């Protein structure tokens, strides 16, 4: 059954403060909407339960990408196209730039926003493993002020997150500490474009004097939430960068992921692909160490 627009209310306050004030007056009643690439799909299918929508699309304080010596601050309403065009993101955060290029088609990239992708809390979202690998922080905003939350602590369960009912995401912060890292990103889907991922990975590693100094591995579509593979990271850090590590990480992967059978793929396929992708990352990391 299609939705009836008469059942919904949409407002567009002129400032972030006005948005926060409205959400504070009626906690849990208002759903922020920006590009609408997820919300309007639910609306068209008659499955959008929220009846009060508050547009944040035109708020300039949410549409900026700011570069400081310490970090890049991406406004929550910045689109995938905004991120693809930004030279600093392309140069220093290529995993996020690649994820932006994988998400839907050009129309979706022009409307879909990073903040919306995070708040939608789908474990299959393309950009979220990159945020895990880059150890992003989120700045959350309400009438009570701002609070900064590590992105690794934001997702609490399937479609559940740390946003209070009167909060919205204001800024995504990426620390500029990735110089010298090997990066690896892949999305596995039914086709190259406009496909929801079966498995996606964003991984970073740094080797110093032949030893793995740091590793960060983010996976999507293999658990109820976007996942950091902490056990695999611990198994790699401090080890000599040798191909024998491939067997080590393959043994750790199955213990950490919780893939499911669904319309896009099977549990067995996702588990096998996740293991293969991490093995490819380790091979690339070791090859880079050999050339250093």
Give the CATH number for residue 18. Answer: 3.30.43
Whether residues 102 and 166 fall in one domain: yes
- Looking at the fold, whether 72 and 120 belong to one and the same domain comes out as yes
Angle ∠(154,114,121) on CA atoms, nearest 5 = 40
Residues 186 and 281 in one domain: yes
Does residue 105 sit in the same domain as residue 22? no
Q: Which residues contact 266 (CB under 8 A, 6 or more apart)?
A: none
What is the reported pLDDT for 254?
Answer: 87
172, two tokens: 């995504």
- Tally Cβ neighbours within 10 Å of residue 45: 11
Q: Is residue 41 very low, low, confident or very high in pLDDT (cuts 50, 70, 90)?
A: confident
CATH label of the domain that carries residue 135: 3.30.465.10
Strands (E), the chain: 9-11, 30-33, 52-55, 65-67, 71-75, 137-142, 145-150, 155-157, 160-161, 168-175, 182-188, 199-208, 211-220, 227-228
Residue where a domain stops, chosen among 119, 140, 175: 175
Q: 3-state DSSP call for residue 104?
A: coil
Closest CA to 249 of 287, 283, 211: 283
One-character DSSP codes across 9-58: EEE--SSHHHHHHHHHHSTTTEEEESS-TTHHHHHHTT-----EEEE-TT
- Tally of domains in the chain: 3
CA atoms within 13 A on the CB side of 204: 20
Left if phi > 0, otherwise alpha if psi is -120 to 50, otherwise beta: which for 194? left
Helix (H, G, I), strand (E, B) or coil at 127: coil
Query: Residues 207, 253: one domain?
Result: yes
- Which of 151, 175, 199 lies at the terminal end of a domain, its last residue? 175
pLDDT digits (tens, 9 = 90+) for 129-149: 999 999 999 999 999 999 999
Band of residue 192 on the pLDDT scale cut at 50, 70, 90: low
Same domain, 71 and 170: yes
Residues 64 and 28 in one domain: no
pLDDT in tens, 64-99: 999 999 999 999 999 999 999 999 999 999 999 999
Co-location of 47 and 64 in the same domain:
no
Q: Which of 175, 195, 229 is the last residue of a domain?
A: 175
Q: Find where tokens 């950091």 sit.
A: 228
286 and 189 in a single domain? The answer is: yes
Backbone angles phi, psi at 214, to 5 degrees: -150, 145
Q: Is the per-residue pLDDT at 200 higher than 90?
A: yes
Domain with 164, as residue range(s), is: 60-175
Apex 198 CA angle, 85 and 125, nearest 5: 40
Same structural domain, 67 and 170: yes
Domain check: are 209 and 168 in the same one? no
Residue 171 has a pLDDT of 98
Shared domain check, 190 and 244 = yes
């Amino acid at each position: 059954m299609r939705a009836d627009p008469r059942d919904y209310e949409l407002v567009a306050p002129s400032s972030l403060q006005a948005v926060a004030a409205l959400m504070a007056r009626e906690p849990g009643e208002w759903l922020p909407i920006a590009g609408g690439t997820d919300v309007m799909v639910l609306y068209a299918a008659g499955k959008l339960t929220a009846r009060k929508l508050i547009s944040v699309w035109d708020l300039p304080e949410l549409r900026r990408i700011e570069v400081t010596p310490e970090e890049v601050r991406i406004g929550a309403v910045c689109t995938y196209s905004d991120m693809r065009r930004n030279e600093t993101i392309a140069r220093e955060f290529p995993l996020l730039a690649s994820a932006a290029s994988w998400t839907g088609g050009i129309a979706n990239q022009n409307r879909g926003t990073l903040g919306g992708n995070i708040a939608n809390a789908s474990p299959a979202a393309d950009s979220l493993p990159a945020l895990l690998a880059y150890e992003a922080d989120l700045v959350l905003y309400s009438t009570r002020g701002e609070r900064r939350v590590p992105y690794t602590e934001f997702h609490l369960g399937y479609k559940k997150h740390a946003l209070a009912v009167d909060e919205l995401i204001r800024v995504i912060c990426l620390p500029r500490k990735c110089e010298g890292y090997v990066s690896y990103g892949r999305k596995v889907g039914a086709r190259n474009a406009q496909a929801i991922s079966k498995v996606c990975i964003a991984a970073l590693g740094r080797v110093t004097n032949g030893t793995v100094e740091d590793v960060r591995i983010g996976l999507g579509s293999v658990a109820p939430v976007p996942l950091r593979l902490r056990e695999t990271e611990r198994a790699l850090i401090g080890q000599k960068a040798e191909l024998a590590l491939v067997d080590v990480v393959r043994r750790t992967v199955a213990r950490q992921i919780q893939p499911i059978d669904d319309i896009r793929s099977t549990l067995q396929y996702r588990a096998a692909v996740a293991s293969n992708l991490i093995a490819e990352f380790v091979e690339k990391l070791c090859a880079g160490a050999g050339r250093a």
